[in-house]
Amino acid sequence: MLSWSGTEQGIEIDLTTVQAATGGVAVSFAKQLVDFATAATEFNLTALAKSRDQLISVAGVATTIDTAAVIANFEMMTRLADSTGARMETEVVANRLIVAQAMGVDKVVSRR
Amino acid sequence: MRISLSDVRQDLVLAHEQAWSALSEPGTWWSGAQRRELAQTALLAVIEIEPLPPWVAVSAVEGKISASTVASSSAHDAVYRIARHASTLTKEWYERVTQEIDPLAFVELCGIVCTVATVVAFRRALDLELPELAAAKTGEPSHHKPDNIVDATLNWVPVVAPADEIAAVVQAFTAVPQTNRVIWAMADAQYIPDKEMVDPHWTRGTLTRVQMELVATRVSQQRECFY
pLDDT, tens only, A33-83: 999 999 999 989 999 999 999 999 999 999 999 999 999 999 999 999 999
Tell me which DSSP letter residue B149 carries: E
The angle subtended at Cα A78 by Cα B224 and Cα B71, nearest 5°, is 115
Which chain B residues are Cβ-neighbours of A108 within 8 angstroms? 87, 224-226
Q: Which of B7, B116, B182, B223 to mutate to test the interface with A (most CBs of A within 10 A)?
A: B223
A91 burial level (CB within 10 Å; 0-12, 13-18, 19+): exposed
ipTM over 0.90: yes
Average pLDDT, chain A: 81
Q: Decide if B96 touches A, using CB distance below 8 A.
A: no
Cβ contact, residue pair B208, A28, below 8 Å: yes
The pLDDT score that the predictor gives to residue B175 is: 98
CA distances in angstroms from B202 to A58, B62, B208, listed in the order given: 21, 49, 7
Of the listed ranges A1-10, A22-31, B215-224, the one predicted with least confidence:
A1-10
B138 burial level (CB within 10 Å; 0-12, 13-18, 19+): exposed
Tell me which DSSP letter residue B70 carries: S
* CA–CA min distance A98, chain B (Å): 13
Confirm if B58 and B132 have CB atoms less than 8 A apart.
no
Cβ contact, residue pair A79, B110, below 8 Å: yes
The pLDDT score that the predictor gives to residue A21 is: 59
Tell me which DSSP letter residue B30 carries: S
DSSP characters over chain A = -HHHHHHHTT----HHHHHTT---SSSTTHHHHHHHHHHHTSS-HHHHHHHHHHHHHHH-HHHHHHHHHHHHHHHHHHHHHHHTT----HHHHHHHHHHHHHHT-TT-TT--
The pLDDT score that the predictor gives to residue B194 is: 86
Measured between its terminal Cα atoms, the distance across chain B in Å is 35
Cβ contact, residue pair B216, A74, below 8 Å: yes
* CA–CA min distance A12, chain B (Å): 10
* CA–CA min distance B37, chain A (Å): 19
The pLDDT score that the predictor gives to residue A89 is: 74
- Work out the pLDDT band at A12, boundaries 50, 70, 90: low
The pLDDT score that the predictor gives to residue B67 is: 87
Query: Tens-digit pLDDT profile for chain B (227 aa)?
Result: 899 999 999 999 999 999 999 999 999 999 999 999 999 999 999 999 999 999 999 999 999 999 899 999 999 999 999 999 999 999 999 999 999 999 999 999 999 999 999 999 999 999 999 999 999 999 999 999 999 999 999 999 999 999 999 999 999 999 999 999 999 999 999 999 989 989 999 999 999 999 999 999 999 999 988 77
Cβ contact, residue pair A82, B173, below 8 Å: no
* B191 vs A2, A36, A73: nearest CB: A73
A83 burial level (CB within 10 Å; 0-12, 13-18, 19+): buried
pTM of the model: 0.91
Cβ contact, residue pair B89, A85, below 8 Å: yes
Q: What are phi and psi of B78, to 5 degrees?
A: -65, -40
* CA–CA min distance B66, chain A (Å): 24
